[in-house]
Amino acid sequence: MITAVIAGLTSISVANAEISVIVNPSNPVNSLSERQVRKLFLGKTTLFPFTEQEALIIDQNPSQGVYHSFYRNLLHINPQKLARYRAASLFSGNGPVPLVLADDVAVIEFVLNHPEAIGYVLDLNNESSVKTVYSFAQD
């Protein structure tokens, strides 16, 4: 019985966790709108807003739950449709596909070492070494 209660509490805390869109602390961008994040991650723009700085988009591995939550909640797109969209963009020359990294730790480490990088993580431990420019509750 105690195990069931603990398991229930764990799932509640994860369900209430936020997904944070992060950049390097040296990035001049301090915040992004939902629309700006969508445009960057769909390859509709390659520059950070109000800068001449190219954005290097970092994606999580599709095996990670945060990947599905990010695209479902923010971009309202399922993985199959996203794959088709990105393939069409790549082959038409309209945009590069994101660099895929294994998990939150890999994304944070990469963003810390690359000022032009932007990625997303499940914000369970309030990582303070990177800058959060947008966040939202996952379902």
Per-residue model confidence (pLDDT) at position 7: 40
Please give the Cα distance from 132 to 107 (Å, whole number): 13
Given a cut of 90, whether residue 13 has pLDDT beyond it is no
CA angle at 123 for the pair 118 and 127, rounded to the nearest 5°: 75
In CATH terms, the fold of domain 17-137 is D-Maltodextrin-Binding Protein; domain 2 (3.40.190)
Parse the chain into domains and list their residue ranges: 17-137
Instruction: Give residue-wise pLDDT tens across range 38-90.
Output: 999 998 899 999 999 999 999 999 999 999 999 999 989 988 898 898 888 87
Q: Are 23 and 135 in contact (CB under 8 A)?
A: no
Give the amino acid at 96: P
Given a cut of 90, whether residue 3 has pLDDT beyond it is no
Per-residue model confidence (pLDDT) at position 126: 60
CA angle at 130 for the pair 97 and 25, rounded to the nearest 5°: 90
Please report which confidence band the pLDDT of residue 127 belongs to, taking 50, 70 and 90 as the band edges.
low
Give the amino acid at 7: A
Mean pLDDT of 15-20: 81
Please give the Cα distance from 107 to 123 (Å, whole number): 12
